[in-house]
Amino acid sequence: MAISESPEILGSTATVISTSHSDSDLDLLSLRRRTTNATNGAGIRAPDNSGNGEAVDYQDRVESANFTSNVGEKANEIPTSSDIRFTYRPCVPAHRRIKESPLSSDAIFKQSHAGLFNLCVVVLVAVNSRLIIENLMKYGWLIRSGFWFSSRSLSDWPLFMCCLTLPIFPLAAFVVEKLVQQNYITEPVVVFLHVIISTTVVLYPVIVILRCDSAFLSGVALMLFACIVWLKLVSYAHTNNDMRALAKSPEKRGADHMHDVSFKSLVYFMVAPTLCYQPSYPRTPAVRKSWVVRQSIKLIIFTGLMGFIIEQYINPIVQNSQHPLKGNLLYAIERVLKLSVPNLYVWLCMFYCFFHLWLNILAELLRFGDREFYKDWWNAKTVEEYWRMWNMPVHKWMVRHIYFPCLRNGIPKGVAVIIAFLVSALFHELCIAVPCHIFKLWAFIGIMFQVPLVLITNYLQNKFRSSMGKKGVEVIYWLFDSENVRTLGGLL
């Protein structure tokens, strides 16, 4: 296309005209200036400063549209060929405004980086494809059928039987609530029985795992299931206790706090994807069967991807490595960094499989309405924000049954936060140390190490918020990301 035929060039270069032009030219420019506001409201929408990189050239587009519109209105008076006189004339200024380079410190966080993100995705795919090919050429296909099922799995039947007997404890908790509802037992007795039930539901699997030579994955699955049952039973007992207190209180708010122990509501709560008990939940109108099938296929694919990464990458690196604390320091750093990438991939696949796919599948089958199982933790600016967003079921349980009860009992906020992290650290240690039969408190120390990280990242956020902006603080957070620190610590 010839340069004179481009409407963008035609309009954008006629914004500044020398005063030596003819009267018809001046009349044309005057008409253009008088109709600027009208044209702006009709044809061009003002930019919303959303970061798409176009706000700087907004005035140019407005002037181009105005000039083009005015030329069209006076088409009968001025021939189209005369418009060439205003196109890139040497006397027209090429620089009319102060502008920043897109990558300057003042403008880099005010625009979209979608193109750079796409480039990073392409580079990531290319690099990992090369690593996969290199790994297959070096080690061959390492995945065996024993990864999914082996003869040793048959020896885990005591763990399976223990898992099947765990529903006895929610039934016992229901019986206790029914007895107190009928005034057969007092409140102190109710508290004592619930403590016995909830403590037994954790100690029973621990004893079974320690007495059996079970596989690691089987032990982890049983301990996770036992911890979930414990959290649900605590919520069930605490919520019913609070509902009884409100029902007896003179400040109760009508039927909202009517205490009714229902076995049906308990059964739904025990299988629902939540840790916080309430008599009823928001429900969806129907089950989308085709959606469940699609999500189930994704779950199978990403579970297989996790197994592939573990067997094909992580295990060979670990088996061919020395102990990181007994060899050369540079060698240890190289091993840790080499393991950090596949460990990160496994963790991301685990998060996607469990928190997005599995919990949403379970919620769809049960028509469970509240599906905020996680928030955008990848945009967290501090470690504190990360812990509030990455695991919403546990976060809601902590806030409801530990944090605010501590505050209501006069415990300072900082101490309440430490208590919440202490409970989390204990259960992380149980889920790792018991299946491994190794009690060295690595998981416990890794979680409690998050407390000083919370203080550090909060300080850095307050210090650099004004100078670096939101995205700059997010970069600082990722340097101190709890999962990164915990993964590297676990490798050691």
pLDDT of residue 379: 83
Whether residue 453 is predicted with pLDDT greater than 50 in this model: the reply is: yes
Which entry of 194, 238, 395, 428 is annotated as an active-site residue?
Answer: 428
**Based on the domain organization, do 316 and 405 belong to the same domain?**
no
Q: Is the pLDDT of residue 259 over 60?
A: yes
Q: What is the pLDDT of residues 417-429, one digit of tens each?
A: 999 999 999 998 8
Side chain identity at residue 488, one-letter code: L
The 10s digit of each residue's pLDDT in 280-292 is 899 999 999 999 9
Q: Catalytic residue at 428?
A: yes
pLDDT of residue 355: 92
Residue 457 near residue 480, CB atoms below 8 Å: yes
Measured CA to CA, the distance from residue 426 to residue 484 in angstroms comes to: 20
Domain count along the chain: 3
DSSP notation for 351-406: HIIIIIIIHHHHHHHHTB--------GGG-SSHHHHHHHS-HHHHHHHIIIIIHHH
Which of 47-56, 108-117, 296-305 shows the lowest mean pLDDT across its residues?
A: 47-56
pLDDT for residue 301: 92
Residue 308: predicted pLDDT? 85
For residue 47, pLDDT over 80 is answered with: no
Average pLDDT of span 115-119: 85
Q: What mean pLDDT comes out for the span 1-21?
A: 38
Q: Are 358 and 383 contained in the same domain?
A: no
Give the position of tokens 């990464």.
Answer: 309
133 shares a domain with 267: yes
pLDDT in tens, 202-231: 999 999 888 887 777 888 888 999 999 999
Residue 45 has pLDDT above 60, yes or no: no
Range of the domain at 194: 87-249+257-281
Regarding whether 201 and 105 lie in a shared domain, the answer is yes
Domain end call among 326, 343, 367:
367
400 lies in the same domain as 432: yes
Q: Which of 304, 313, 310, 307 is nearest to 138 (CA)?
A: 313
Do residue 349 and residue 398 come from a single domain?
no
Amino acid type, 37: N
Query: Quick check: 269 pLDDT over 90?
Result: yes
